[in-house]
Amino acid sequence: MSAMDTTDAAADSTEEPATKKARTEEPDTEPAAAPAPASEAPAPAPAPADAEEEEDDDAAKVRVIAGRRFANRDELWAHVLSLQRKIDGGVAEGADAFFLFALVTCHPGANEKLAPGAAKIGFDINQEYPDTKSFFVERTDGSRAGFSARKCVDELYPKDSTKSALTLGRQSMGAREYKESPQKKARDPPPRGAHVRIDGLSGQAIQYGEIKEALSEFAVPRFVDLNDDEGYAIARFDDNESAVKACACVEIEGAAVTVVVMAPELEDAYRKDADAKREAAREAKRGKGGKGGRGRGKGRGRSIRSA
């Protein structure tokens, strides 16, 4: 090969191929993507997280009572009111009776309401308070026990949603959870001035749930202790400030009431009496199993609640 040929070859080797030059001289743009085949249509966008949360919330509100599905509390309460109007002054029959019997099992006092056995259920004048009407259970011995449907609904839709409706329904029948609970911490005593007394309830047939709901418009009580015989109730709050706010309540279910913070000496006497009653109840329950408590006497000491 001649020197000129060698030089020409070297020069040619330093030049880029024509096709490469053309590519480098094009503007910096992405090539257009090929259209996707019709069989490979783009997947639908995932549902927003908010929509999924709303669906979960809606599902959590569903309750099924006697085979009837209710989407929320308002729907359930509307059905209860329709039954009240339908059977006013009489006894429920068929599917209506089946529903009401299922509903009353969710009442916290279901054992006492149904014992020694239930025969009929309806809505009529309250035998204990003739000026009012309420749902009632007629027992096999001929006696009647009025009950608050609102209280049953409150148990199915508790404002404190830490417990499921299923658990509440089972507990109302005397059942207890089998799983072991973590070690309970010693409870701090309630602060001074956290108790109020509600007077004006005598003969009004006002239920626990109705008192709690009325007070909650001003401050949410921790518990309400209703004394039907003497026509008053005691409610405890988290602190004195909440108790003072509750004193603004002047009416419960149309009845004029007075709510006052209990004096320190009365508050102490009430707490002492309540503690004594709780301890007596524990002792009575432990005594059911005979000597040595549960598992050592005859049988296992299963407790049976009296009516």
| 198 vs 248: CA distance, rounded Å | 11
Q: Which pTM was predicted?
A: 0.41
Residue keyed to tokens 């001035």:
193
Model pLDDT for residues 221-277, shown as the tens digit of each residue: 888 888 878 889 999 998 999 999 999 999 998 889 999 999 999 988 988 888 888
Cβ pair 246, 260 in contact under 8 A:
no
| Angle of CA points 132, 78, 94, to nearest 5° | 80
Interacting residues of 232 by C-beta distance below 8 A, sequence separation 6+: 197, 198, 199, 201, 202
The region of weakest confidence among 73-87, 182-196, 244-258, 292-306 is 292-306
| 154 vs 253: CA distance, rounded Å | 16
Which one of 7-21, 155-169, 287-301 scores highest in mean pLDDT? 155-169
Distance of CA 112 to the CA centre of its chain: 22
Model pLDDT for residues 126-146, shown as the tens digit of each residue: 887 777 889 999 999 989 999
Structure tokens at 293: 């408590």
Structure tokens at 195: 């108790």
Paired with 125 in beta bridges are 133
